[in-house]
Amino acid sequence: MRPPKPVARPDKVSLRRYLRLFRQDLLSAQPQRLYRAWMAEFRTPFFRSYLINQPDLIRTVLKERPDAFPKSGRISEGLRPLLGQSVFLTNGAVWKRQRRIIDPAFEGGRLRDTFPAMVDAAQACVDRLGARVGQELECEEVTSHAAADVIFRTLFSVPIEHEVAAQVFDKFRAYQREQPLLNLAAFVPVPNWVPRFHSRKTRQTARQIRRLIGRLTAERAAAIKTGTAPDDLATKIMTTPDPETGECFDTQEMVDQVAIFFLAGHETSASALAWTLYLMALYPDWQEKLAEEARPLDVSDFSSMPRLKLSRDVFREALRLYPPVPMMVREATCPERFRDRNVSQGSQIVVSPWHLHRHERLWDNPDDFDPTRWSTENGKKCQREAYIPFSAGPRVCTGAGFAMVEGPLILSMLLCRYRFETIEGKTPVPVAHLTVRSKDGIWLRLVER
| pTM listed for this prediction | 0.92
Closest CA to 330 of 100, 50, 56: 50
Pairing, β 48-52 against β 39-43: antiparallel
pLDDT tens, N- to C-terminus, the chain (449 residues): 899 887 766 666 665 666 666 666 778 778 889 999 999 998 776 678 899 999 999 999 999 999 999 998 766 666 777 888 889 889 999 999 999 999 998 886 788 999 999 999 999 999 999 999 999 999 999 999 999 999 999 999 999 888 888 888 888 777 766 655 444 444 444 444 444 455 677 778 888 888 999 999 999 999 999 999 999 999 999 999 999 999 999 888 999 998 888 877 788 999 999 999 999 999 999 999 999 999 999 999 999 999 999 999 999 999 999 999 998 989 999 999 999 999 999 999 999 999 999 999 999 999 999 999 999 999 999 999 999 999 999 999 999 999 999 999 999 999 999 999 999 999 999 988 778 989 899 999 999 99
Q: Cα(289)–Cα(427) distance, rounded to whole angstroms?
A: 23
Q: Residue 144: what residue type?
A: S
Q: What contacts 337, CB < 8 A, 6 or more positions away?
A: 343
Cβ contact 96:269 at 8 Å = no
- Domains annotated for the chain, with CATH where assigned, are 15-448 (1.10.630.10)
Q: Cα(240)–Cα(252) distance, rounded to whole angstroms?
A: 16
CA distances from 64 to 39, 50, 56, 308, 342 (A): 19, 18, 10, 33, 19
Farthest CA pair distance, the chain: 63
Cβ contact 331:347 at 8 Å = yes
Q: Would you give the end-to-end CA distance of the chain in angstroms?
A: 25
